[in-house]
Structure 1
Amino acid sequence: MRSAAINHAPSTVEKRNFQRVRVNIYGRYMLEDRTEHPCQVMDMSPGNVALRCNQTGRPGEKVIVYLDHLGRIEGVVTRTMADGFAMTIIASDRKRDKLAAQLTWLANKHELDLPEDRRHERVAPRKAISTLQLADGRQYACRIIDLSLSGAAVELDVKPALGVQVILGTMRGQVVRHFEDGIAIEFAVVQRPETLDAEFN
């Protein structure tokens, strides 16, 4: 019995079973020419993902993506869009099951008020006073309560809306939570320890 060829496109049944969810995840991806680019997930299922980015791949091009919370995934570009591209995820059944569980958790964690994902240790920076800049150029003095490789808790007088893009010092990110005295920011990419040290310590 001849083994079946690997088919990169999901079958009709697979497409029907995979429900895409809107999740707010940042990451990086590498194209076949080995260039790396930042990206943001628009929506995702265990079988495919739509990425918002500046540099799109070609249909049929293999892509490796590293996503916050989810790790490394591989796939093939299926179509390009004005602000990004969609790709089919190539993964084992076990990996797809794991992705399904992770996506369900990510999609529901805000509604369920689950604790934040503490992937990285939070520390109080030595240089706590910084500047928060909004996309329209407005700037506000702020105090960093604590900081990790993936985000920061910031005390300030204004509360930008959830999902708003901001720059803390030189770190790009977005507002993911409000609390009494300020906001929590998730960085667009996971930072290196030496980058944070140079910026805030």
Structure 2
Amino acid sequence: MSLQSDFGPGAARERIHNSVEVDLEGRFMLASGAEHPCRIVAMSTGEMLFSTPVRPRLGEKVIVYIAELGRFEGGVSRHEGEGFAIGLKLTEMKHRKLAEQLVWFANRDVLDLPENRRHKRIVPMLQWTIVRLSNGKEKTAKINDISLSGVSVEVNARPLVGGRVMVGSKAAKVVRLVDGGFVAEFEEPFAEGELDERIRL
């Protein structure tokens, strides 16, 4: 799979953004306040395609929450098959972050990524924590997402890949640097059932 897949026949003529197939559970809220479950089946940094029997009107504002990726919003751009698409409104930072995540989704089946996402990722309610680097310095950090096996954080630091850090009270090994932070794998993963949105590191 590559980032040059598309949502449907002829769609490439309408969008300049590359898309990638995904299979993610989510919930979306319409302008009326009604909430519905859905599956997100394709994404780019410009659009998101939903699989759902709900048919909101074109242009209607939609807010969607995906446990692995967080909160997004946008307007309904079209109806397609058994669902609809929204055009995403992203800040520059969130645009870069989503682009990195989509690269991972696109290549997860062919790349031997050291932080291979074996477990579902969540975005905790309390995202702020302290990162202690191998040199003893401490930095305030924001948790982008966390799983049983690892964590992605935004922090003003560039630790060495392979280096040991403390993310809150959890010891971890840095496996990849990203723009504005790093991804680390826990030395002792959480057990099944220990992790939910209320977790505090």
Q: TM-score, normalised by structure 2?
A: 0.51
Percent identity between matched residues is 38
Determine if the alignment matches structure 1 residue 45 to structure 2 residue 44: yes
Q: Partner amino acid for 1:116?
A: R
Which residue does 1:116 correspond to in 2?
117
Is 2:20–2:105's contact at 8 Å kept on the other side of the alignment?
no
Kindly report which structure 2 residues correspond to 1:29-68, keeping only aligned pairs within 5 A, or say none.
29-68=28-67
Is 1:121–1:148's contact at 8 Å kept on the other side of the alignment?
no
What whole-Å deviation, never above 9, does each CA across 1:118-146 have from its counterpart, x for those lacking one? 43448xxxxxxxxxxxxxxxxxxxxxxx7
Looking at secondary structure, tell me which structure has more helix per residue: 1
Q: Partner amino acid for 2:84?
A: F
Is 1:120–1:149's contact at 8 Å kept on the other side of the alignment?
no
CA distance in 2 between partners of 1:63 and 1:83 (Å): 17
Change (3 A) 1:54 1:149: farther
Which residue does 2:5 correspond to in 1?
none
Kindly report which structure 2 residues correspond to 1:144-159, keeping only aligned pairs within 5 A, or say none.
147-148=192-193
Which residue does 1:93 correspond to in 2?
92
What whole-Å deviation, never above 9, does each CA across 1:133-171 have from its counterpart, x for those lacking one? xxxxxxxxxxxxx73489xxxxxxxxxxxxxxxxxxxxx
Q: Partner amino acid for 1:48?
A: E
Pairwise CA RMSD = 2.8
Q: Partner amino acid for 1:88?
A: G
CA distance in 2 between partners of 1:149 and 1:30 (Å): 28
Change (3 A) 1:55 1:120: same
Gaps of 5+ in 2: 1-11, 120-145, 150-190
CA distance in 1 between partners of 2:22 and 2:75 (Å): 20
Give the 3-state SS of the residue equivalent to 1:23 in structure 2.
strand
Is 1:23–1:42's contact at 8 Å kept on the other side of the alignment?
yes
The range that moved more, 106-115 or 84-93, is: 106-115
Change (3 A) 1:148 1:81: farther
Q: TM-score, normalised by structure 1?
A: 0.51
CA distance in 1 between partners of 2:89 and 2:197 (Å): 29
Structure 1 residue 47 displacement after superposition: 0.6
Change (3 A) 1:64 1:121: same
CA distance in 2 between partners of 1:148 and 1:55 (Å): 32
Structure 1 residue 54 displacement after superposition: 2.1
Change (3 A) 1:148 1:27: farther
Runs of 4+ deviating beyond 6 Å: none
Is 2:44–2:102's contact at 8 Å kept on the other side of the alignment?
yes
Gaps of 5+ in 1: 1-11, 123-145, 151-190, 194-201
Structure 1 residue 112 displacement after superposition: 1.4
Which residue does 1:106 correspond to in 2?
105
Give the 3-state SS of the residue equivalent to 2:23 in structure 1.
coil
Is 1:149–1:192's contact at 8 Å kept on the other side of the alignment?
no
